[in-house]
DNA sequence: ATGGCTACTCCTAGTAGA
């Protein structure tokens, strides 16, 4: 089974590239983030024509998540359902081929100490509560997406530059560890220990070409998924060429 | 020193991303 996660930075602006990548990589399921479109305007027809089922949770202009699969996703849940008054479309969950998928687009946080940073930390605490209430560590569970947090020194291109900055601050790393403490492992680190495995590069300053990236897109998996883990790969090729997303897809293969 | 790109929107200039 092949599961992909990709922040596409607008599914409409990127439609041809997204469909082209899906056709070539041919995952069983892909979790997309930053679709940036209300559900009514999602390009369902183009996906259906290419043989994909799609479950979406979107909003105008910002955020938005979608699960795209060869089989119909079941038991779809949109949002954390915890009564928090915010209406940001940042989480969708569904089951595909017996695996429970939680697709997340964690808030960026903007700047350490800002209101958006506080919102990010609060959102991550809510995500842990969502897992506690809706999932079990004994089940095949994959929590994946754009976490907007680089977990450790290996995951930033310049440790000194990034130390204490938003995306790499201690409180963010601790909030991510608390999510994982539900009983989830960072799948990439189960297979690769080396530094410099990045998933995002700034559009500016030729960052991709210069290797100035961060690893902020993750697959967190329960033990039953880890036991089936064959490979975790970052498709850097998808960051190249005309009008790329600023994120590369990450692909998990299970036995 | 700053910003350097991209996508979005009933403000095509201002906001947001990371």
CA A216, CA A194: separation in Å to the nearest integer? 15
pLDDT at A83: 74
Report chain A's C-alpha Rg in angstroms: 17
Residue A111 has a CB neighbour count (10 Å cut-off) of: 12
Closest alpha carbon to C1' of B9, residue: A61
Calculate the angstrom distance between C1' of B16 and CA of A254.
Answer: 36
The catalytic residue among A105, A155, A186, A217 is A105
pLDDT at A85: 63
Distance between alpha carbon A174 and the CA centroid of its chain, in Å? 18
CA A225, CA A139: separation in Å to the nearest integer? 8
Every domain of chain A and the residues it spans: 2-254
Task: Decide if A146 is catalytic.
Answer: yes
pLDDT at A196: 97
Calculate the angstrom distance between C1' of B14 and CA of A1.
Answer: 44
Residue that has been written with the tokens 């975790």 in this structure: A232
* Cβ burial, residue A44 (10 Å; 0-12/13-18/19+): middle
pLDDT at A139: 98
pLDDT at A80: 95
Calculate the angstrom distance between C1' of B4 and CA of A80.
Answer: 38
Statement: the CB of A145 is under 7 Å from strand B: no
- Are A67 and A181 in contact by the 8 Å Cβ rule? The answer is no
Residue A10 has a CB neighbour count (10 Å cut-off) of: 16
The catalytic residue among A103, A146, A186, A246 is A146
**pLDDT averaged over 10-residue windows placed end to end, chain A, 255 residues:** 98 97 98 97 97 97 97 97 81 98 97 95 97 98 98 97 97 98 98 98 96 98 98 97 96 97
Statement: the CB of A107 is under 7 Å from strand B: yes
Residues 6+ positions from A246 with CB-CB distance below 8 Å: A7, A9, A200, A201, A202, A203, A239
Task: Decide if A105 is catalytic.
Answer: yes
Longest Cα pair distance anywhere in chain A, in angstroms? 48
pLDDT at A87: 77
Q: Which nucleotide is nearest to A247 (CA to C1')?
A: B18
pLDDT at A120: 97
Calculate the angstrom distance between C1' of B16 and CA of A108.
Answer: 10
Superfamily of domain A2-254, CATH level 4: Endonuclease/exonuclease/phosphatase (3.60.10.10)
Q: Which nucleotide is nearest to A36 (CA to C1')?
A: B8
Distance between alpha carbon A242 and the CA centroid of its chain, in Å? 22
**Could you say which nucleotides of strand B lie within 7 A of any protein CB atom?**
4-10, 16-18
pLDDT at A86: 63
pLDDT at A128: 98
Q: Which nucleotide is nearest to A148 (CA to C1')?
A: B18
Q: What does the DSSP assignment read for A192-252?
A: ---S---SEE-SGGGHHHHT-EE--EEEEE-HHHHTTEEEEEE-GGGGSSSS--SB--EEE
């Amino acid at each position: 089974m092949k599961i992909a996660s990709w922040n596409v930075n607008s599914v409409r602006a990127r439609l041809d590239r997204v469909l082209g990548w899906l056709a070539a990589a041919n995952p069983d399921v892909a979790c997309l983030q930053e679709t940036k479109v209300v559900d009514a305007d999602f390009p369902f027809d183009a996906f259906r024509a290419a043989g994909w089922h799609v479950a979406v949770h979107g909003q105008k202009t910002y955020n938005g998540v979608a699960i795209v699969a060869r089989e119909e996703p079941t038991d779809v849940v949109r949002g954390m359902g915890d009564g928090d008054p915010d209406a940001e479309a940042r989480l969708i969950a569904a089951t595909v081929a017996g695996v429970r998928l939680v697709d997340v687009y964690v808030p960026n946080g903007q700047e350490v100490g800002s209101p958006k940073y506080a919102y990010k930390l609060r959102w991550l605490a809510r995500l842990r509560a969502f897992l506690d209430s809706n999932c079990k560590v004994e089940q095949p569970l994959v929590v994946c997406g754009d976490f907007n947090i680089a977990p450790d020194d290996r995951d930033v291109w310049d440790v000194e530059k990034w130390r204490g900055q938003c995306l790499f601050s201690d409180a963010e790393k601790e909030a991510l560890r608390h999510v994982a403490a539900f009983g989830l492992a960072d799948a990439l680190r189960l297979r690769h220990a080396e530094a410099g495995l990045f998933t995002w590069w700034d559009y500016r300053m030729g960052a991709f070409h210069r290797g100035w990236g961060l690893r902020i897109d993750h697959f967190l998996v329960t033990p039953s998924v880890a036991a089936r883990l064959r490979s975790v790969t970052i498709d850097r090729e998808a960051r190249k060429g005309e009008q790329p997303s600023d994120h590369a897809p990450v692909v998990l293969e299970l036995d």
